[in-house]
Structure 1
């Protein structure tokens, strides 16, 4: 029972870290604190006059922006609490006879690596490859926590067609690919590279720059904040994300309809209905980001929607691939 509630709490904290990370990034506060793990040499944001004076002396070329600094530090505080929760889960699992051991150990290693990625995000000045890896680490963490929860709370075994299983696996792979594209779009500040629908304004097809758009190495720069790629490269990333959304949406919609129409228990059909609802919501949020020019609340919700879609797909795949 203790492990159950701890896993549920940790899942909530994981989602909070993802949302807070998105809010921090989209508020351009990723470098709100130029050092790590503190902020301008302090454990919290400097607010007293002597603290500010010391910070300005240590970082003379930077403007201290307390609002952005607090966003970054709150994100770190929540992530630190998540790390303690994961450690507690590991201890409980190691002490219990009937719980998995390797999975919680891997999750604990992953969150340590996540902390390192968080540090590198700051020290490497928002390098897109690091920022995207940090984002993907968060999605991986929450997925593995759900998998651990499911393994400690086995689902009823069901019989499903091989086609439904394959569709679910393909849908999960497509969704992961789309999340990667979304992370690359965000980390390269390409979300508003196209402001027209359904594809992009102008002669976009003639301006695609695949090699530059998806090169993980973008040279040496004092900072990658606000992006360093040219318009054609950002537009290529954005267009790829849109076409990826169409492909992923078609696969997930097919899976949702398959689960709804199949002769399965009610909880399986409900998972199909939830998948369709989350998919439609996510599409609506994506379109709204373009039409409304990336309002902060909708952009953060788009990140949260991706996390909920991923959790739903992890649940569906776990349920369908369990041997009957």
Structure 2
């Protein structure tokens, strides 16, 4: 297997980890295994009566729920496989004189840090700042793997696209705006604030008078036995939700402007990227609205996470290609 094929496979696995992480979190299975890296002290979820009895004696504070435990362990298995693939890519890059060196080394360091965040997610009982950091780390890994693929593949627009290049500042602004929106989404999810507003286009009641930004966005929320299901009161959670929703409108406007500009590009690469951006943006807006109207169905909520990841990948691609010439 050559390095480009392995990188593409790693991109698929990274998306799987992101989706499985979202599915696990949204299924309230983030503490399905109360220890790390095993599950109730074992490599697989305890199944027979003796193992279950021993597990409950070892962790009496948490009842073993096998379905949730398996979700957590499958997530860890896929993440472990991803770590091995990243290590293989690093070795191949170090052995290839023409391949990038610094970027795969940074990616390897990031995935080690991601493993630590995965451990802290469990040991710190779903502390929101840790959960959000773990999510952002996954999205960052996804973006950097694409960047490594593009650099190794040496994708360029022959001669550049002078028309598209004039929108480089807008493309960078769009990427930054999207990153902020993804962070707000992670903060919304980790604080269980997705259903704090259930009406459109704005929240129900006196939402404007109940905004509490300082409390809503404080990274430290005190000492609690567990942060599962959230510890913030309604006004704080509502503030988080409103911020995510309003910034989502800002994000949609900026990305829509960029897409409309780029569909007139000279190169087919940029035009196709603009059409993909329009498609992903439309789908993502629809998923976001569906989450509110249908009260966060699991499949749509997970798809919303996946849509954000693909939007980010598309924006990284646009920014990379728009700034490079053959």
TM-score range, shorter chain: over 0.9
The 1-side partners of 2:225 and 2:97 are apart by 52
Aligned residue runs from structure 1 range 82-93, under 5 A: 82-93=82-93
Match runs of 1:285-296 below 5 Å: 285-296=287-298
Q: Which residue of 1 aligns with 2:200?
A: 197
Does structure 2 retain, via aligned residues, the 8 Å contact 1:3–1:92? yes
CA contact (8 A) 1:160 1:320 kept: no
Q: Which residue in the other structure is 1:31 paired with?
A: 31
Superposed structure 1 runs of 4+ greater than 6 Å apart: none
Secondary structure, aligned partner of 1:261: coil
Q: What's the offset of the Cα at 1:98?
A: 0.5
Per-residue deviation, 1:53 = 1.1
CA contact (8 A) 2:32 2:72 kept: yes
Q: Which stretch shows the higher mean deviation, 54-63 or 191-200?
A: 54-63
Structural RMSD (CA): 0.9
**Greater Cα offset, 60-69 or 233-242:** 60-69
Distance in 2 between the 1:14 and 1:249 partners?
25
Q: SS at 2:162's partner residue?
A: coil
What is the TM-score when the length of structure 2 is the normalising length?
0.98
| 1:42-61 alignment runs, 5 A limit | 42-61=42-61
Structure 2, unpaired ranges of 5+: none
Rounded to whole Å, the distance in 1 between the matches of 2:52 and 2:220 is 36
In structure 2, distance between residues paired with 1:160 and 1:172 = 20
1:241 aligns with 2:244: yes
SS at structure 2 position matched to 1:144: helix
Helix, strand or coil at the partner of 1:219: coil
After superposition, what is the alpha-carbon deviation per residue over 1:58-113, rounded to whole angstroms, capped at 9, x for unaligned?
Answer: 01122110000000000000000000000000000000010000000000000000
- Equivalent residues in 2 for 1:89-104 (5 A)? 89-104=89-104
Partner of 1:149: 149
Structure 1 unpaired stretches of 5+: none
Aligned residues: 323
Q: 1:178 aligns with which of 156, 161, 181?
A: 181
TM-fit CA distance, 1:323? 4.3
Q: Secondary structure at the match of 2:269?
A: helix
Give the TM-score of the pair, scaled to structure 1.
0.98
CA separation in 1, counterparts of 2:291 and 2:62? 31
* Alpha-carbon distance in 2 for matches of 1:275, 1:102: 29
